[in-house]
Structure 1
Amino acid sequence: MSFKILCFAAFATVAVAHGHVAYSSQHVSRHDGHPHIVHVHGHGHGHGHGHIDYHAHPKYNFEYMVNDKHTGDIKSQHESRDGDVVKGYYSLHQPDGSVRSVHYHGDHHTGFHADVKYGVHHIVPKKHHY
């Protein structure tokens, strides 16, 4: 953990030394259940024997964010999963100045669905005086 803090401090120092501040963050929380035995049939060694595997109920929350106004790299994402249900959101600033926002969800019964929206940020060009 102290290595991660040292790396972040070094990155922040370099960013500030070059006249801009950039940052990123991430967080993952896993809440998997206890594993239980699953019998998988037909995956033996060709002798008709079943195979035993272990399965835990997958459950997690994940998020990250990057914000570097100097390079224009601005994005974020959040995703959660509980069993076969996945829900999430991500947003990013595109090179043309628009912001893409996507809300998505998916599960075993309905498949994957995404709602994509674009927001326009008006860029005012600098006036050059000759």
Structure 2
Amino acid sequence: MAFKLIVLAAIVAVANAVAVGVGYPAAYPALGVAKVAAPVIAKAVDDYDPNPQYSYSYHIADALTGDNKEQQESRTGDVVTGSYALVEPDGTRRVVEYTADPVNGFNAVVHREPLAVKAVAPVAKIAAPLGYPGYARPILG
């Protein structure tokens, strides 16, 4: 049964090739085969913008995770300007201001800014008196 399907597919393929004139030059009109012109494929129009422009920004301040960052960027033509900032683990805020253009390439300037210092209450020191290993009394100061 499979052999019959393969033979049938081969016959259909040959018949289809003859119908469109594949492999026959135009010098064989006696075979009754007409040449069919290849379909014309339209060229896709490129969406080229000679002066691309965009602008975006975002800010995240998550008190639960401590994630605090922001970014803004804009582009006019081939010139991109922007900045981003984040709070580093040591408590400083890093700000990076950047520009990019075809003449100067990518340039960035980095600033570090201290954040406002939070007042922290002193921690009481605990010391155990001699002779009483299970007893601790607070020592303030």
Partner of 1:58: 52
Structure 1: stretches of 5+ with no match in the other structure: 1-50
Partner of 1:85: 79
Partner of 1:97: 91
Distance in 1 (alpha carbons) for counterparts of 2:108 and 2:80: 11
Aligned length: 80
Q: Of the candidates 66, 70, 73, which is equivalent to residue 72 of structure 1?
A: 66
Distance in 1 (alpha carbons) for counterparts of 2:64 and 2:120: 16
Tell me: higher relative CO, structure 1 or 2? Use CA pairs within 8 A at least 6 residues apart.
1
Q: Percent of pairs identical after alignment?
A: 39
Distance in 2 (alpha carbons) for counterparts of 1:69 and 1:52: 49
TM-score by length of 1: 0.54
1:50-101 per-residue CA deviation (whole Å, 9 max, x = no partner) reads: x973312320010000011232211111100011100001111111100001
Distance in 1 (alpha carbons) for counterparts of 2:64 and 2:55: 29
Q: Of the candidates 78, 91, 103, which is equivalent to residue 109 of structure 1?
A: 103
Partner of 1:21: none
Three-state SS of the structure 2 residue aligned to 1:119 is strand
Q: RMSD of the TM alignment (CA)?
A: 2.1
Distance in 1 (alpha carbons) for counterparts of 2:78 and 2:111: 25
> Which structure has the bigger radius of gyration?
2
Tell me the amino acid that sits aligned with residue 63 of structure 2.
K
1:9-65 per-residue CA deviation (whole Å, 9 max, x = no partner) reads: xxxxxxxxxxxxxxxxxxxxxxxxxxxxxxxxxxxxxxxxxx973312320010000
TM-score by length of 2: 0.50
Distance in 2 (alpha carbons) for counterparts of 1:126 and 1:112: 45
Structure 2: stretches of 5+ with no match in the other structure: 1-43, 125-137
Q: Of the candidates 124, 127, 130, which is equivalent to residue 122 of structure 2?
A: 127
